[in-house]
Amino acid sequence: AQSVTQPDIHITVSEGASLELRCNYSYGATPYLFWYVQSPGQGLQLLLKYFSGDTLVQGIKGFEAEFKRSQSSFNLRKPSVHWSDAAEYFCAVGARSGGSNYKLTFGKGTLLTVNP
Amino acid sequence: DGGITQSPKYLFRKEGQNVTLSCEQNLNHDAMYWYRQDPGQGLRLIYYSQIVNDFQKGDIAEGYSVSREKKESFPLTVTSAQKNPTAFYLCASSIRTGLPPYEQYFGPGTRLTVT
């Protein structure tokens, strides 16, 4: 079964600083990988996704993520953080689950605080 | 506008009562999902449905039930058998054909409080 680990529960950065959120996955085949963002009390919004091709993926809001198969990682990055980026970030891996069923497995999330 | 609607946003119930959470989508997606979110626990899958009149248990299905009579609707019932029902519940949908990956689109969530 697939699994996702987000090692950092809470990260604090200053506005304008760079950001990297870590994600490690476990899956036997080529994974489908996603990053989502959630503002307090809201649903999740997709930032970016990866399945194949270029290992550096660009997403919305200036985010990017790099897939590294050798490290089973899919880390999220942003060169300059804005105060509005404060939110919780979830990494997820998608996989087939019996026949044609398909589901996502989410990490426990990383809460990002941005200091002015 | 296409999207997923969950109602109500806040729901309060007394212990021992069943309660049904609504989820409607107009994205024409075949697959729909219910997740439970607790602080520090991420999202845990309760039930999912790939087509009408068919659904599968997720990782934490005990104490919950669902139905999928229409493509657009996937209501979740939290029964009195669910030992700790107070949580934030999220509904999602996705396509299930064509080339993957199949990203999921999420509703705004329903916060259920049982006292």
Nearest-CA distance from A54 to chain B in Å?
15
Of B90, B109, B72, B93, residue with least CA distance to B34: B90
What is the spatial distance between Cα A32 and Cα A17, in angstroms, rounded to a whole number? Answer: 29
The residue whose two tokens read 């993926």 is A57
Give the strand pairing for B10-13 and B110-114.
parallel
Contact of A113 with chain B, judged by CB distance below 8 Å, is answered with: no
Size of interface A-B (CB pairs under 8 A): 69
Q: Which residue of B has its CA nearest to A47?
A: B103
B50:A104 CB<8 A: no
Give me the tens of pLDDT residue by residue for chain B, a chain 115 residues long: 679 999 999 999 999 999 999 999 999 999 999 999 998 889 999 999 999 999 999 999 999 999 999 999 999 999 999 999 999 999 999 988 777 778 899 999 999 999 9
**pLDDT value of residue B56:** 93
A88 CB near a chain B CB, below 8 Å?
no
Interchain pair A109, B42: CB under 8 A: yes
Cβ of A43 within 8 Å of Cβ of B106? The answer is: yes
A47 burial level (CB within 10 Å; 0-12, 13-18, 19+): buried
Q: What pLDDT digit, counting tens, does each position of A32-51 carry?
A: 999 999 999 899 999 999 98
Nearest-Cα distance to chain B for A43, in Å, is: 4
Distances (CA, A) of A58 to A25, A47, A52, A65, B64: 19, 9, 13, 7, 38
Residue type, A107: G
B56 CA to centre of own chain: 12
Q: Chain-centre distance of CA A28, in angstroms?
A: 19
- How close does chain A come to B60, measured CA to CA in Å? 13
Residue A53's pLDDT band, with cuts at 50, 70 and 90, is confident
- CA-CA distance, B97 to A100, in Å (whole number)? 9
